[in-house]
Structure 1
Amino acid sequence: MAVDFSFFFAWMMTLAHVPGPRFAAISSVWHAYNARNGRMAYLGKTLHRRYGPVVRVGPNEVWFNTKEAFHAIYSSGSGYEKSDFYLATALNKPYIDWHLNPEFPDTLDLLSERDVRRYRIQRRLIGPVYQTSSLIQYEAAVDEVLARTVAKLKSLKGAQVELNEWMHIIAVECLGAIVLSWSPSMLKNGTDNGSGTHAYHGWRRKSVFGLFPLAAKLEFLSKSTGRLFSTIWGVNFQPPKDFRPFFPDVGKRASRRINAATKSKHHKDDRQDLLKDLISLHKSKPEFTVNYLRKMVITNFGAGHETMASTLTSIIAMLGSNNDIQEQVSREILETHNPADYSTATRLPKTQCLIKETKRLYPVISMSLPRTVPAGGLHLHNNYFPPNTTVGCNPVALHRNPEIFGSDCNEFKPDRWLTADSDAARNMERVSLSWGGGARTCPGRHLAELVVFKVIPALIKEFSIEAIVPPEDENRSYFLSMLTGVKVRFVERTTADS
């Protein structure tokens, strides 16, 4: 018993020099309590202001908000692997041995995969399919969705709607068109059937479980254990009354086409979409297995529908609540021929700055992207962090560091990207976790950019936007972050506006 206590005491003392909330040093309960209550963005804004560039947020976890930490932890080849937090986001059930070590099957789970060799192989396989040069062929599919979107929003005649829901509708419709040549009928029905709200509440649960890896492991062994832990922490949730998930439809449609394509040598499919390209990838490279193929189709929706909706929501919310900025961006778009063409939109400076600044101030992730310190430890900011310490940067905190983004870093100022000198602008671009970090950047980045850079100009061209954004302290953010409760009116432009 004395040996065990000595070991525990020594382990606790390794980070005793790191400042932070007192309770955080002795238990993960403090961190989990704040995650449960949706205070992750708030902590990102406040902890480093109080404690400095290095903050202890758990018995074995430290947050940083500096460019030095960003490069040390997230640079390619740094050796920092994803922490046990990602057990809570895993799509597949692992084998758990007697020592509670998980061993995951060889399936495609890009967010949660911690086998670096396996992950690199998967990324190399799908890389060419997800380059902009390949994805641009689906631009017409997005154009068709946007035509239906504009018509539907015009039919509302400026009525006030929930911004979250409508941006989620647009995101899922775009993904459906690009991946499966399919519409989930959300635009037609004017509702996402509660699927966005349901998914977001799921991140509340995942955020808490991720901070207790033992609970995540035990849930793999027993669902009832997971339900008990959820009940104790109060993170169970009931689906909305009108809830209708769209993932079963995605799975059925994908399975039918994959089965037909892989079981028949002479199968013809005239659809030109991402699934067809993934099937072609499987046929040309059998190491991209049928299992990988099935998982990748689902991943497009699983990884994309919430993150795209979050990004679009934040951009429209900021645009609709900042009249001067909306006037500048609108003028640029209205004076441009075909502003929603991807090649055109990505060259519009005011539009680019709007998107960059929104993603800086309101990143999709509001918890740290946690990594494990490798053998040899980490020497940083006059501190030593031993191997197996969990370290990371909270994007909210990193993106509000005044040494990187200026003394006005807490203000929404898109023009900062235009007025900064070349070195400062390059520094701001590099020190960003908007798409993840290093070798683990989002594989769907170019797909998301295609959608965002088309949706925003298309909406601004047709509508003036009026948004009512609740106070930031009313917003709830977990590992995934989203502005909620924003009310918006899309007011059709008149000839005079143009």
Structure 2
Amino acid sequence: MALHKKYGPTVRIAPKEAMVSSPQSFRNIYGAGSNFRKSDWHLGTSDCGWRGPDDLDFLPEVNMEKYRMQRRAIEPAYTADAVKDYEENLDEILTKDIRIMHERAGRSVDLDMFLNMFAPVSNGPAQEPAATQTLLREYRSTRTQPSTDILAKLLSLQSMRPLLQGKDRWISSICLTNFGAGVETIAITVGTLIANVLSRPGCQECIHAEINEARKEGKLSLPPRIREV
């Protein structure tokens, strides 16, 4: 940040590398439809092509046409409307997490570790790709009633979209991505929220007052429903 304070929001730190710090720059670079290509750093997270060109791995993928095509194929599983379908699963996990928080009241905890466990395991198997594909077959054969989780939504999309048919590898890869990217993201987001609340005197009391008032007025369930917040 010292460089940005001295030289501004965009600082050239190498012949072909610049560092940015402004919100507008982040939107331009990382926003939807951006034409900026990923740096070579991402190649270090790839399998170097041994799984072939038809693989799905969003993090190292530098072919943006392929990246966007694959994103569009699975996107309906992650819309706001889709999340409402997962609400019962999320409520069950959230209720359990709240109970654990009450049980540990007054004890010191590693917030990052706890919140990594807090992230909902509602999207099916999370193992190595080959093992995950085996679990996909078992999941299909043993499912006796409609499921309301991300994996079920992905399998439903697979049955309806020609692009996804026969692509169990894609489905297993996105399941792994859910855990690899989603768990830590949730932990950071919720952890930052809690840390900011606790570091500001009176903030927690204010939140409690708002929640209690909403419950008295019948506007908020326990746990809160998505439509209520």
In the superposition, the TM-score normalised over structure 1's length comes to 0.41
Task: Kindly report which structure 2 residues correspond to 1:27-426, keeping only aligned pairs within 5 A, or say none.
Answer: 45-66=1-22, 69-70=25-26, 72-74=28-30, 76-90=32-46, 92-94=47-49, 105-171=53-119, 174=120, 176=121, 178-180=122-124, 247-248=126-127, 252=131, 254-260=132-138, 268-270=143-145, 271-288=147-164, 289-337=167-215, 338=220, 340-345=224-229
Q: Does the Cα contact within 8 Å between 1:251 and 1:298 map onto a contact in 2?
A: no
Q: Does the Cα contact within 8 Å between 1:55 and 1:62 map onto a contact in 2?
A: yes
CA distance in 2, matches of 1:293, 1:168: 23
Task: Provide, for residues 374-427 of structure 1, a one-character-per-residue CA deviation record: whole Å limited to 9, x for no partner.
Answer: xxxxxxxxxxxxxxxxxxxxxxxxxxxxxxxxxxxxxxxxxxxxxxxxxxxxxx
Task: Kindly report which structure 2 residues correspond to 1:408-447, keeping only aligned pairs within 5 A, or say none.
Answer: none
By how many angstroms is 1:170 displaced?
Answer: 0.4
CA distance in 1, matches of 2:178, 2:154: 11
CA distance in 2, matches of 1:297, 1:116: 21
Is the radius of gyration larger for structure 1 or structure 2? 1
CA distance in 2, matches of 1:81, 1:73: 9
CA distance in 1, matches of 2:52, 2:14: 26
CA distance in 2, matches of 1:303, 1:107: 18
CA distance in 2, matches of 1:258, 1:86: 28
Residue segments in structure 2 that go unaligned for 5+ positions in a row:
none
CA distance in 2, matches of 1:250, 1:80: 29
Amino acid at match of 2:10: V
CA distance in 2, matches of 1:341, 1:295: 30
Amino acid at match of 1:46: A
By how many angstroms is 1:114 displaced?
Answer: 1.0
Task: Provide, for residues 202-228 of structure 1, a one-character-per-residue CA deviation record: whole Å limited to 9, x for no partner.
Answer: xxxxxxxxxxxxxxxxxxxxxxxxxxx
Match of 1:233 in 2: none
Task: Provide, for residues 437-471 of structure 1, a one-character-per-residue CA deviation record: whole Å limited to 9, x for no partner.
Answer: xxxxxxxxxxxxxxxxxxxxxxxxxxxxxxxxxxx
By how many angstroms is 1:323 displaced?
Answer: 2.0
- Cα distance change, pair 322–276 in 1 and its aligned pair in 2 (3 A): same
In the superposition, the TM-score normalised over structure 2's length comes to 0.83
Task: Kindly report which structure 2 residues correspond to 1:3-22, keeping only aligned pairs within 5 A, or say none.
Answer: none
CA distance in 2, matches of 1:251, 1:342: 35
RMSD: 2.7
Q: Does the Cα contact within 8 Å between 1:168 and 1:308 map onto a contact in 2?
A: yes
Q: Does the Cα contact within 8 Å between 1:53 and 1:65 map onto a contact in 2?
A: yes
Q: Does the Cα contact within 8 Å between 2:133 and 2:169 map onto a contact in 1?
A: no
Q: Does the Cα contact within 8 Å between 1:167 and 1:312 map onto a contact in 2?
A: yes
- Cα distance change, pair 71–157 in 1 and its aligned pair in 2 (3 A): closer
By how many angstroms is 1:68 displaced?
Answer: 5.6
Q: Does the Cα contact within 8 Å between 1:93 and 1:104 map onto a contact in 2?
A: no
CA distance in 1, matches of 2:128, 2:226: 29
By how many angstroms is 1:269 displaced?
Answer: 3.6
Match of 1:379 in 2: none
CA distance in 2, matches of 1:123, 1:71: 19
Task: Provide, for residues 299-348 of structure 1, a one-character-per-residue CA deviation record: whole Å limited to 9, x for no partner.
Answer: 11111111111111111111112122222222212212325222222xxx
Amino acid at match of 2:44: A
Residue segments in structure 1 that go unaligned for 5+ positions in a row:
1-44, 96-102, 183-246, 346-498
Task: Provide, for residues 235-290 of structure 1, a one-character-per-residue CA deviation record: whole Å limited to 9, x for no partner.
Answer: xxxxxxxxxxxx549975x434422467x7xx744233211121121122242111
CA distance in 2, matches of 1:74, 1:309: 21
Q: Does the Cα contact within 8 Å between 2:13 and 2:19 map onto a contact in 1?
A: yes
CA distance in 1, matches of 2:129, 2:57: 17
Q: Does the Cα contact within 8 Å between 2:11 and 2:18 map onto a contact in 1?
A: yes
Identical residues among aligned pairs (%) = 30
SS state of the match for residue 214, structure 2?
coil
